Chains A and B, each alone.
Chain A
């Protein structure tokens, strides 16, 4: 679906993102859309939830991203991976107070959450208690334990994965929790040619992962995040976002529509995505690309048919409106 050649960067100085994408593509093939979505979330200061069958490259993607970003001291950004299991406890994530024999006091032992990029694998297999602990942190960007509050790094990005809900032994995330993810994306299998390519080079994959170049540092990412907030959003695009969000509430096939918070998140993602696409302004195509990953997981559908059609109906109508507008 994604266009490869012609979406060349329009504005100067945005090339780093393209560089990042290309860098990641040396490891993960045929997933440009997903790479872009992940980067969008990163730049929008959001978190991403990836859902698909095991073995489709979710973890590799997260690791590649972490490997491409230089940390504070010349090594790559701090990447932690937590495998969620039913018996995982919040303290396994957050860290715990341990009694220091020497100092005779409790000191805080940081959990894996204290990192730049966290891969929360199979998040729906952990108990709701753990899930909510994680999601709190994602929203607040800090951890409060007892009397102490610990700030997380200024770049804190969670990539959660989950198996399709139908699988056994899972605790589906409640709607309120899902709302905290900026996007939920699907991975899907690659096409045949790409798959052949992957097989032919499979020995090199881990190798390339180890030798991935660091093309950006955390400061640059933070700068991009700031830049995204300056992306121009036309009034009609805001209107379109509002129409889509409100439309989702009024649609007959949707029982719970999108919240205002999701609207804000939507706008954030739009700005970031425009930047990823190499633009300093949002266009209607961004709306088309972003709507489903941003909104789909926040809606509760009445039936299967609605799940398939409702959002695209609302979006289609709005896209049509936008395409016919004469704005100057």
Chain B
């Protein structure tokens, strides 16, 4: 009987491990995984940390089953950990090592002790699950508050598991506590109740999220759009410390202009006033926001429109010196008057390597190297070409009272007065860019638009009217509309922030002005959109054409379409009286590397280190910005002046090996005389051989792969993605669960084939009884031997009885089988299975094989039946 008691408590313990400790460990894993993103001390070792915690949990849960008191054991543990720590301190040599090890040990000690306490609590304290869930919830809230940018998806992702776990553990712990018996029926009942409970919970939670999703999204949008309260609403901070423009523009209660004095990037814009060397700055565009989400009052990008002229390559994904060009952007810009191509070089400091910005319509990008002396300061650089309207000069765009500039801006207005009307425009285009939400709450904007446009016929005059509307002054000479980074949000939740800005608070930052302007313009049927990017200020006296960009220059403004002229920038944001000047004088611009005339990439075929010659099989060639891709031509190279680089370290020519993947660049004056040809073949034949090469970059393949892996890391995923995946996982778990009987059966079948005679008999027996059980051939109270003889054989005409004779002999007689019997065992199963199968339809078999209850019954004790 002692054994019986022991067995029961072992089963009980197993149940507790399965239903309480395992989920707790999983949740710990989840939390450590989440936490390690935010605390560098944890060093991303979330797996081992979760194991620390779980081991503490398991050990203490096991120990406190017996009659130990909490305190003495815990003190013992603390003492052990402390002495371990002290020993470590003495033992480890090397200052850094000991520091490192002791930190590791501390992390272990804390997690282990926490696990220990949890294990004790779960075992001994009835209300502990409540405390535990509260603690976990708190931890996750702290984590969320650490998150720079919160989305609904993220919040659900980090809170849902904890909340679900909380409810689960409270229920399960109580349920397991209150059950005394651990027999077969208990397992079945308990697990079915648990499954029911969990699915109910999931369903409820899913339904709440599904129904409340718009509200949740809106609520979160209130607190900083897609950022938390007090964030810069135009920029987002990436986890690697870089910054880029946000991919949507919401209206928030708060806009924190980061006062980080570090510039984000600097750019050289090759644009001067004609005939002079006076730099002509241009606003730098990042994203076009063409769509408006009424619910969250957020402007969104829309890359699906057919007249898309937004050019957003990812420069970090383009190999060095490779070019990426999209000429459809030129066509889609729908403008040809007063347009020219402008070149720009962008040197990034804190700006994300993925970000791409260019004035107006970009169409060409080429990552370039940063001069060696500047590599510490600038992380990456690219060259870009843009199709820019002369009318987009920043001096035309600035919204300022300066009479000089005002006078200058008249030129543009006069020019634009010549623009034809929208009568000949594509209807789809017009409909899209003049879309005005039908929601009646926005109707006051329409009447405002009517009053502004009254008496004006030309589009540009209406636009000036809008600008002036925001510049109007009251009787006291104060500005009616003011600039504020803290406009606040309307008191009523769900009220329109746009309407609140326009008609009540009358203060806001660029996003408000741009959004309101677009609304008014669209109400006037003028095609317009919001764009974000950077406001360019010419502060450089020494280095003409160089501009420096700080965080507070991130900006949103309006583009208006004028037929023939294309998209023209307008800035209606009133000037910021509190605006600080950029804090520091601009730094020294990087030395511009000479413009690469030729860039070729391919594999090295041969190297002659003595003569400094080499042959490369090119697969890609760029000559004077013309790209020849997927070619296979050999290029003789003269390496006499070449620098060889590998992972930004200068190497000798000898480092160049046959088979290396390389990118070769030439700045040679000699090449200037040649011009691009129709095909690469013609070009290579004309080029001098060997061609002079200045730089050779050896590609580090492992690094490339790492980069690729980084790329594939999920970007921002919508909630539906999470829902879909959760559903998918749930479904596969569900299906997996129901497939267990079939898998187990297949396992037995497999063992029959692979075992020796004795084991084959055992697995044949297992497979046969499993099959019969799963097909609900009921054994009732019969012993297997009688079941075989009296029930199975007569019913299916099999030889199961004889098999059982042999099997039982093998099992109990202590002697091995003779040749006849072995042969019988060997040949028994296939015909047996066949005859059993024949008696059931395919559908019945499948249905019964999905029956988990039957499956569980096979492994647990049959219910003791009462003699009646």
Contacts and interface: CB of A to CB of B under 8 A. Distances in A.
Contacts of B861: 316-317, 320
B786 A247 contact: no
B304 interface: no
A325 interface: yes
A108 interface: no
A232 B810 CA distance: 12
B143 interface: no
Nearest to A236: B812
Interface in A295-328: 308-309, 312-313, 316-317, 319-320, 323, 325-328
Contacts of A213: none
Contacts of B762: 326, 328
Contact of B783 (A236, A246, A285, A328): A285
A283 B810 contact: no
A192 to B, nearest CB: 20
Interface in B847-868: 861-862, 864-867
Residue of B790, B793, B810, B864 most packed against chain A (CB within 10 A): B864
A280 to B, nearest CB: 7
Interface string A222-238: 00000000001010110
A323 B866 CA distance: 21
Interface stretch (B14-22, B373-381, B526-534, B801-809): B801-809
A246 B1 contact: yes
Residue of B3, B786, B810 most packed against chain A (CB within 10 A): B786
Nearest to B788: A6
Given A3-B786, A6-B789, A237 B866 contact: no
A6 B814 CA distance: 23
Contacts of B865: 312, 316
A136 interface: no
A288 B867 CA distance: 15
Contact of A232 (B784, B808, B813): B813
A186 interface: no
B4 interface: yes
Given A6-B789, A234-B814, A246-B1, A309 B783 contact: no
Residue of B785, B789, B801 most packed against chain A (CB within 10 A): B785
Given A246-B1, A281-B813, A316 B864 contact: yes
Given A284-B783, A316-B862, A247 B812 contact: no
Contacts of A326: 762
Contacts of A282: 812
Contacts of A31: none
A237 B861 CA distance: 19
Given A246-B1, A285-B783, A288-B783, A308 B811 contact: no
Contacts of B810: 328
B758 interface: yes
A165 to B, nearest CB: 18
A250 interface: yes
B744 to A, nearest CB: 14
Contact of B813 (A246, A247, A280): A280
Contact of B811 (A7, A283, A316, A317): A283
A81 interface: no
B773 to A, nearest CB: 12
Given A280-B813, A326-B762, A328-B758, A285 B862 contact: no
Given A309-B866, A316-B864, A237 B812 contact: yes
Contact of A319 (B758, B783, B790, B812): B783
Interface string A22-58: 0000000000000000000000000000000000000
Contacts of B784: 284, 323
Given A309-B866, A316-B862, A250 B758 contact: no
Interface residues of B, number: 27
A34 B735 CA distance: 52
Nearest to A280: B813
A77 to B, nearest CB: 33
Contacts of B808: 283-285
Contacts, number: 76
Given A6-B801, A320-B861, A247 B809 contact: no
A110 interface: no
Contacts of A232: 812-814
Contact of B786 (A236, A285, A320): A285
Contacts of A323: 783-784
A6 B790 CA distance: 9
A284 B785 contact: yes
A1 B808 CA distance: 20
Nearest to A315: B864
B811 A328 contact: yes
Nearest to A327: B811
A325 B811 contact: yes
B789 A3 contact: yes
Interface in B559-603: none
A77 B867 CA distance: 39
Contacts of A325: 811
Given A309-B864, A320-B862, A323-B784, A247 B1 contact: yes
Contacts of B790: 3
Contacts of B814: 232, 234, 281
Given A246-B1, A284-B785, A320-B861, A309 B812 contact: no
A283 B674 CA distance: 99
A249 B786 CA distance: 29
A285 B785 contact: yes
Nearest to A6: B789
A249 B812 contact: no
Interface string B659-695: 0000000000000000000000000000000000000
Contacts of B758: 328
Contacts of A319: 783
Contacts of A107: none
B811 A250 contact: no
Interface string A1-23: 00100110010000000000000
Contacts of B813: 232, 234, 280-281
A9 B801 CA distance: 14
A25 B758 CA distance: 39
A247 B5 CA distance: 11
Contacts of B3: 243
A152 to B, nearest CB: 35
Nearest to A319: B783
A98 B801 CA distance: 62
A198 B812 CA distance: 40
Nearest to A248: B1
Contacts of B809: 10, 281, 283
A185 to B, nearest CB: 16
Residue of A7, A282, A285 most packed against chain B (CB within 10 A): A285
Contacts of B801: 6
Interface string B1-45: 101100000000000000000000000000000000000000000
A309 B811 contact: no
Contacts of A317: 4, 861, 864
Contacts of A313: 864
B812 A284 contact: yes
A47 B801 CA distance: 33
Residue of A3, A249, A284, A328 most packed against chain B (CB within 10 A): A328
B184 to A, nearest CB: 9
B812 A327 contact: yes
13 contacts: A10-B805, A234-B813, A234-B814, A281-B814, A283-B812, A285-B808, A309-B867, A312-B866, A312-B867, A316-B864, A317-B861, A327-B811, A328-B758
Given A232-B814, A316-B865, A328-B811, 17 more contacts: A232-B813, A234-B813, A234-B814, A236-B812, A247-B4, A281-B813, A283-B808, A284-B785, A285-B783, A309-B864, A309-B866, A312-B865, A312-B866, A312-B867, A316-B862, A317-B861, A327-B812
Q: Kindly list the 10 A-B residue pairs having the minimum CB-CB distance in the complex, ordered from nearest.
A: A250-B1, A281-B813, A313-B864, A283-B808, A234-B812, A6-B789, A285-B785, A285-B783, A308-B867, A328-B758
